[in-house]
Structure 1
Amino acid sequence: MLKKLLAAVLCLSLSGLMAAAHAGDAPAAPKQSAEQFLASLNFQQGKITLQDNIATLDLPATFRYLSPADTERVLVDAWGNPPGAKSLGMIVPAKVSLLERAGWGVIITYDEDGHVKDGDADSIKYDELLKEMQQSVLDNNAERKTQGYPAVQLVGWAERPSYDKNAHKLYWAKELAIDGAASHSLNYNIRVLGRKGVLVLNAIAGMGQIAEIKKEMQHVTAFTDFTPGQRYADFDSKTDKAAEYGIAALIAGGVATKLGLFGKLFAFLLVFKKFLLMGVIGLVAMIAKFFGRKSKVNLDK
């Protein structure tokens, strides 16, 4: 059952999102320098309350937050993603520019599909789960190629899944490879389980940044939590809906239900698009396209 679910999720997500990455050019936006773009963003610090008071971020000085509107500007105007994806904002490192090669961010979304029971956490065989995920990706490569998109390979765990039962926080990382790209991509995932759903945090970076991201995401895990009343322990079986999947499904393919709601799979979109831009047409070309003054961006940091 799980293998069929994996195949369906990966087929829909990867082929569909790769199509988005190859979509036709949108009308050109007015050009501005990288400095002007960054100056127009409202970087917030300290304690942040996310939309609808669902969760909070207690940011240390090393991190900043961007609103959903500013996040979309970064994703679309700076990183070249198609518009329209919804988020609760983005967490970014304070000392690294979003427009540098070393730039990265953590996209925040929320899936209110029900309370995820964690009873399967101790029984998951992660090596077997990885093999099924890898095979599902390979099985769908033929279809992706017929549509004109490069093949994808799930190389393996960049960090093996781990679940904190006391905090109800799950994290893992995947290493992805795309045919024709010089470097591999990193997809680092955090899931915070709550009363009615799951807070989704996905770091977008390259595999060369794995040591830094692994360290920094531990901080992100610690300062992110649901507000009182929305936490895992607040679940009321008499009034609240239970999700139809467990921990294994979260890892396997994002939020997925038998109703066909395969989740946002937001990280795939960002990883693939940003990675394709960086690895195939080049980061310099991307900056030149959106800002017109590539000399203003230091690519050596």
Structure 2
Amino acid sequence: MKRIYTAATVLVLTLTGSAVAQPYQSMFPGRADFSDEAKQYLERLDFKQGAVPLAGANATLNIPADFYYLDPEDTKTVIVDIWGNPAGAADGVLGMIFPAKYVPTEVEAWGSLVEYSNDGYISDLDAATTDYDELLQTLKQSVAESNIEREKQGFSPITLVGWASAPRYDQSAHALHWARDLIFGNEQGASHTLNYSVRLLGREGVVQYNFVADLAQLEEIKAAIPAVIKLVQFDKGKSYDDYQQGDKLAAYGLAGVIAAGAGAKVAAKVGLLALALAFLKKGGFLIVLLVGGALRFFSGLFGKKTPGA
């Protein structure tokens, strides 16, 4: 039955090109090991494959058989209800993508939030000249300074250990990706957390992938990056190469994209780039936003609840 269903799905996607929603029983055929709690969550989700328009992003996600997409409401169910992040953690997202072999209720599941920033056309002229080691030191200092306020508010500190994967810019695809190695808490032996980010540049803004995963899954995610990049197709006239003089320009380059982390706005002044850092993980959520010299903290560490699969 699995083989027949997969063939039928591929045929439908080929003929129609539009997204096809499936219940979890069809998405994961042959699985009979879900707990009752996991089933209650999975029954609320529509697993979509095919062409998924990204509202407001002038782009479409083309989801093949080895991935699936969850819409914003289903993403909130995963991020907030299943993984235990605060209610605002999924605000503004356009959805989430997962490898088809993973069920969201499984502890080993990883996926990526999909977002869009319409800050304008981002020049990639600094791709070859940015010193990413120097940028890393700046980010480390910013995170360390933010911990002073975090601990005043009763939250555990965060340590930016370094690049889990150094920034790389794919010139042909106009895609920037990098990963941070983070430690939440100051206890000896605290576990490391992966913060992997991908940015796909368009004419008017950037499609953003922010992966929610464990550091042990780094190589698996790196192997998936080429396929993930190809999922995005900008609308006609809206790709990076469609830029025309007079288009809105972003106030920062690729270094600013990395400094902005997971999509917070970046403020730029002469000789000064205001840094914004954001991290999302299973069981923990932090935003540190620096704009105009004012610090605002919305933070906390939250226990992860993963229903039995």
Give TM-score, length-normalised by structure 1.
Answer: 0.76
Change (3 A) 1:130 1:263: closer
* Cα distance between partner residues in 2 of 1:99 and 1:115: 38
Task: Provide Cα deviations, 1:6-26, integer angstroms capped at 9, x if missing partner.
Answer: xxxxxxxxxxxxxxxxxxxxx
Deviation at 1:271, TM superposition (A): 5.4
* Cα distance between partner residues in 2 of 1:235 and 1:118: 12
Aligned equivalent of 2:290: none
Look up the SS of the partner of 1:46 in the other structure.
Answer: strand
1:273 aligns with 2:306: no
Aligned equivalent of 1:211: 219
Deviation at 1:56, TM superposition (A): 1.6
Change (3 A) 1:215 1:282: same
Q: What is the number of equivalent residue pairs in this alignment?
A: 251
Change (3 A) 1:132 1:272: farther
Moved over 3 A (4+): 261-265, 269-272, 280-283
Change (3 A) 1:46 1:198: same
Change (3 A) 1:272 1:35: closer
Q: Which segment is superposed worse, 180-189 or 165-174?
A: 180-189
* Cα distance between partner residues in 2 of 1:35 and 1:262: 45
Aligned equivalent of 2:258: 251
1:70 aligns with 2:61: no
Change (3 A) 1:106 1:82: same
- Contact 2:84 / 2:283 at 8 angstroms: preserved in 1? no
| Structure richer in helix, relative to its length | 1
Deviation at 1:53, TM superposition (A): 6.2
Q: 1:177 aligns with which of 183, 186, 196?
A: 183
Aligned equivalent of 1:222: 230
Deviation at 1:62, TM superposition (A): 1.1
Change (3 A) 1:88 1:248: same
Aligned equivalent of 2:174: 168
Q: Which segment is superposed worse, 208-217 or 168-177?
A: 208-217
Q: Which segment is superposed worse, 86-95 or 210-219?
A: 210-219
Change (3 A) 1:197 1:123: same
Aligned counterparts, 1:109-120, within 5 A? 109-120=115-126
Q: 2:240 aligns with which of 232, 242, 246?
A: 232
Task: Provide Cα deviations, 1:122-161, integer angstroms capped at 9, x if missing partner.
Answer: 1001111111111221122222111111111111111111
Change (3 A) 1:271 1:136: farther
Give TM-score, length-normalised by structure 2.
Answer: 0.74
Deviation at 1:118, TM superposition (A): 0.8
Q: Which segment is superposed worse, 225-234 or 106-115?
A: 225-234
Aligned equivalent of 1:58: 62
Q: 1:146 aligns with which of 122, 140, 152?
A: 152
* Cα distance between partner residues in 2 of 1:117 and 1:89: 26
Aligned equivalent of 1:241: 248
Change (3 A) 1:80 1:264: farther
Change (3 A) 1:263 1:128: closer
- Contact 2:175 / 2:200 at 8 angstroms: preserved in 1? yes
Deviation at 1:108, TM superposition (A): 0.6
Look up the SS of the partner of 1:36 in the other structure.
Answer: helix
| Structure richer in strand, relative to its length | 2
* Cα distance between partner residues in 2 of 1:272 and 1:39: 22
- Contact 1:186 / 1:271 at 8 angstroms: preserved in 2? no
User: RMSD of aligned C-alpha atoms?
Assistant: 2.6
- Contact 1:178 / 1:184 at 8 angstroms: preserved in 2? yes
Change (3 A) 1:51 1:107: same
* Cα distance between partner residues in 2 of 1:229 and 1:86: 25
